[in-house]
Structure 1
Amino acid sequence: MQSHTVVNELTVSLVRAALSDDQSKTEVIERTVARINQIASAGSSVYFLARFKHELPDLDGYAARYPNLSFKNDSIHSSKGKEADYVILLGLSKGKYGLPSEIVTHPLIEALQPKAEAYPHAEERRLFYVALTRAKHRVYLICDMLRCSPFLRELIDGQYPLELQEFAASPEQKNAIATNCPVCTQGNLVNRRNKTTGSSFIACSNWPRCTHTESGCRQCDAPMVRSGRYRLCTAPACSGWAAVCPSSGGTMVYREKVNSWGCSHYCVTDKNSCRHMERFIEAPSPLPSTSGCAADDMQPE
């Protein structure tokens, strides 16, 4: 007897979108439910799941807007043994209330628990597996890629079969895989905008505990995302890029006096500033779209 159904199509869809506030989160959920309503048969069930219940949406109104669907929500812990036709998984972020959760267990409680397993986040990883296996037909993973869960990043880095074309995503979301801050190593680099000047920059998600920042694109001022050792402009019509200093996380800039590239964090009067230098920096391959800004972000000045 088989307890599962074998299919020849992708059954896990990634919904990449900025989730900066409750309004944006509500809009993304609505878009996902609308898509399910298009493809699901009448009477299909939709199951909202999250690591923490405060991530779950209020179900009031969904039944009225989508009478052909039934809705329920649960924490992942409570979903064990249950199933639905479609599952929407929320809270796929990194941090205290993310998945895995980074809440520190009280030492007294930890002392009473079984010895921790050698595999990192073993229990949280099992929860992720539970969530992925509650759907009969399809799972939708809603995530802000600038703050994505390490578990989701493992799926992407491991090239597991994910449906990426079902929903449109901004260039920022398409190019962004959450990158650890080079200074504190705990936060992610996220795009911010100066409220006074309107200029964009990249900062650590652990601000104000970590004050590391990086500048936006020098060609068009659009936000930039990390890709390996480079930062690439997210504007579709811009070819801007910048090389990242491997020592401090600063931007490599060309210095004509020494005919070399040096870190932007270098200060001649500060002996503790970054003094990393390189003779030659190769352009990223392939380059971003070149239909807009003509000059690379890293051309010598």
Structure 2
Amino acid sequence: DVIRGDYKEVHVKPAVKEELQRITALTLKHPKEFSYGVLERNKITGAILYGPPGTGKTILAKALSKHSGYNMMVLTSGDIYDPKWGEDEKFIRSTFRIAQRLHPCIVFIDEADAIFGKRTAMDRKHERGMLNQFLSEWDGIATGPRAPFILLATNRPNDIDEAVLRRAPVQILIDIPNRADRKSILEIYLKGEDLDPDIETEKLARMTQFYTGSDLKSLCVNAALACLSATIVPDADNNNPTETGNPQHGGSGGPPGDNPNGTPDSSTLDAGLPKRVLKKEHFLTAMKSIKPTGRGPTALAARRFKQKPM
């Protein structure tokens, strides 16, 4: 499938992009350098993107693959878990074999905590077998010249099993955006929109502390919808139950421009609507329903995990 994701769609610090590109390039483009000496025993085969929900970890991973020209296999817990005994282990084995054939390849696992949660005495044998199979395959391909790079993304890094963390020593915090970052993100999402002089992206950035990139996207969408709702004036004819038809219009039961079945003609859709202009009031309306998620308990816990701000 075509990878949907581009660096233009996500705003993260340049150092984060550079670190991701550096570590994946070392592993995927120069495998011979890890075939001898100290690097042979310490090959970096994985990394973890962690941080609060909605900070762009998934888009960043896909943008990395697209920008670098690597193949990518995207997996979720729904892809791996199978109620039939042994099927998930079989799926894992085939995934690694395919990834080797697709070299250079990134195996990206979203919401990794749902798959690689810490093992306990209460685990079912089936779940523990799945994790053990993945770790075994990961170790088995680590020394191969066509080994894929395992990239994990999680909002809950504290819940991931220690054995997985050891195999992914590069752990990068993708934190909530600061004011300058929020301004850049807003400019991405509001591209093509007209803003009223009473509101600008700098002012919006100051108003949206603790908003994640996902929150800002929802805010912009809802502000545009609020503007559109305020612009559209209800059709009085459609709201007047007494005007149900007019013989002069072929008895269609609707005003001129309607089709015989009473639905509006496509030529009249959007007729006369001016281009919307987003105002401060539209964003304030949107903020009533779109609240910042960057200060919730999940976000705070993720931020405290071995912080490595770039």
Pairwise TM-score range, normalised by the shorter structure: 0.3 to 0.5
TM-score normalised by the chain length of structure 2: 0.32
**Higher Cα radius of gyration:** 2
TM-score, L = length of structure 1: 0.33
Greater relative contact order structure (CA < 8 Å, 6+ sep):
2
More helix by share: 2
